[in-house]
Amino acid sequence: LRARTPGSDRIAIIIPYLGSLLPPYFQLFAFAASGSADLVDFLIVVSDETKNLPNYDPTLPSNVKIVNVGGLEEMAKLHARVALVNEDGSDRDNLTSMDPPSLIQTLTRQLEKHPYQLVEFKPAYGHIFRDFLEGYSHWGYADLDMIFGDLAEWISSDELDDFDITTYSHGDQASVYLRGQFTIHKNNVLVNNVWRACEHLSKLDERYGEGKKYRFESAEGCYSYAVLQRDDIRVKYAVKAMTDFNKADPAQEHGIMLAERRGGGLVLYKASEMDKSGSVFRSMDPEDLYSGRARGVDLYRDVGDMEPVFAFKEVDKELPNRGRGCMFWAPTTYQRDICVLDVDASHTIKLIGGKLYKQKWEKFKFPEGVVSAPFFHFQEWKRKYRVSQFAGLGGGRGGQRKFILMTEGLAAFGAGGKMDLEKLEEEKVMWPTHNKPRYPLPPNLYCSSFESVRADNDGKKTVHCVDYISWFDQEKTEILQWPRSPVGTTLGTTTLSIVVDLPDLSESGAVSKERLKSAMDSIKNWRNKPVILAIHVKENVSKSALLSLLHANGLNEIDEILCAVVRTAKYNRKR
């Protein structure tokens, strides 16, 4: 790796965000971002004061900076710079369709109605936020639905020095586009104004002045096309990302570990096919991943000769997928340049002198076949991520913090490892390790009951945990049925999480029976993978009545199930 002089390179990743609440996974994003503090600052640009964000945690890492621009209109004013400010920073004086105040007012209304429109402006962030970029050698964009490892370990010297733009994909290299989830640019006038070829931005006044119905324009389409028309911009398209977008083999199906290193920084990696149970993966020391590689060898490097790459436009062939192209979200007018032939996930793509080339790449081989990456993009998993789902909050053994991501949420391993919905006192993390039968069970606390708490006079609410449970708390947890196989030999790293509220278990309780039947059907379809089925019932329900109902719905047909009664705080039906 390149020996970096402190301050010689510094990247600002800009993420504007509109909303009265930060996403429920923001704390996870911020913790993970801290692992890249040696090289990267994350500028989260918001339109309101942080005191008005009830789930904002002021104890953010030093490289995660909340930038308040002072209101939605100010946010719109910044983004209107694409039409109002020239390359040299002077005001544009030749607007044809609307004056500056009208454009700003229109954009304010658009952002209020369509906050997602912010992503259209990503290519122009170097221009829009130029006032925030002084002192940075590079700028880039990313998303909040991402978990970063240590970017300083992954961003190579050629990506900082030899290329003007670098983007990371998860392997869809036959589409040569700049990924919205992670693309970095050199911070200079030439690169910061490539986007001007995209008239939906540079002529924003005309777009709004025509009075047409708003139509979303992906930043990845026009911008990627505009870059491919340049012979004075060098671009690298590398295969480094992990994602859950691959339905055939989503990353979190393996389990994904985020672990602190003793010397600072984070390691992000997933279990391998060689470790189906995840036991080696969970016990692995993160120091074994990076420290063992030879000094000066990059985690990702290109090998062999470069070969030319041809787009569909150059060979005059019909676009793939029966003419629909390789990017269904971008207009086909761009795709004849973006879609290329004879390229796959084993190739790095490079744009040099206006020509595309491909080159084989290889990654550093980690122990036990695990796979590491600079980040995990969970664009699908976030739809299921809820702070009220069963997620491990703390506990475990060892001195470092480790978090394992599973389908149902986040589990923490290691002393001091916690995702605090509410501060956990250390004495709460207690269980009898001499209890041999329960010892293989996950050593986590789980949040079983939540309540909404008013944060301020505006009536905004936040969520706090009011009751924690553990498999090792015998006063609260009574195990009714064990799996037929020993616990720990068949449990993997992916878990289905189902929460069911059964208000009435009587013979006439049709609602409860229908809900339970639906849950049991889902468990059967999960085909022997681990499941957490949480059933909330009234306090006076007997264990025998509950077991009878479970068996009537097929519990006795499932071999690998651990059934327990857990006594928790009163269930809040309003949440």
Instruction: Name the nearest CA neighbour of 189 among 312, 85, 290.
Output: 85
Domain coordinates of the chain in residue numbers?
Answer: 11-240+306-362, 242-293+364-385, 386-566
Instruction: Name the nearest CA neighbour of 446 among 471, 475, 425, 422.
Output: 471
Strands 402-406 and 409-413: antiparallel
Read out DSSP for 72-109?
HHHHHHHHTHHHHB-TTSPBP---SS--HHHHHHHHHH
Structure token pair of residue 179:
């990924």
Buried b (16+ CB within 10 A) or exposed e, 5-16: eeeebbbbbbbb
- Asked if 448 and 568 touch (Cβ cutoff 8 Å), the reply is yes
State how far the Cα of 210 lies from the Cα of 127, in Å rounded to an integer. Answer: 25
- Asked if 485 and 558 touch (Cβ cutoff 8 Å), the reply is no
Q: Which residue has tokens 């605090």?
A: 420
In the DSSP assignment, the letter for residue 131 is: G
- Asked if 166 and 46 touch (Cβ cutoff 8 Å), the reply is no
Task: Give pLDDT tens digits for 504-551.
Answer: 666 556 777 777 777 777 777 665 566 667 777 766 777 777 777 777
pLDDT number for residue 261: 73
pLDDT number for residue 526: 63
State how far the Cα of 154 lies from the Cα of 457, in Å rounded to an integer. Answer: 45
pLDDT number for residue 287: 66
State how far the Cα of 220 lies from the Cα of 198, in Å rounded to an integer. Answer: 11
Taking the model in full, what pTM does it have? 0.70
Three-class DSSP category at 161? helix
pLDDT-flagged residues of the chain (< 70): 1-7, 50-52, 54-55, 57, 211-214, 246-255, 262-264, 273-297, 381-470, 472, 481, 483-499, 503-509, 525-532, 538-539, 556, 558-561, 567-575
> How wide is the angle at C-alpha 150 spanned by C-alphas 145 and 153, nearest 5°?
135
pLDDT number for residue 252: 61
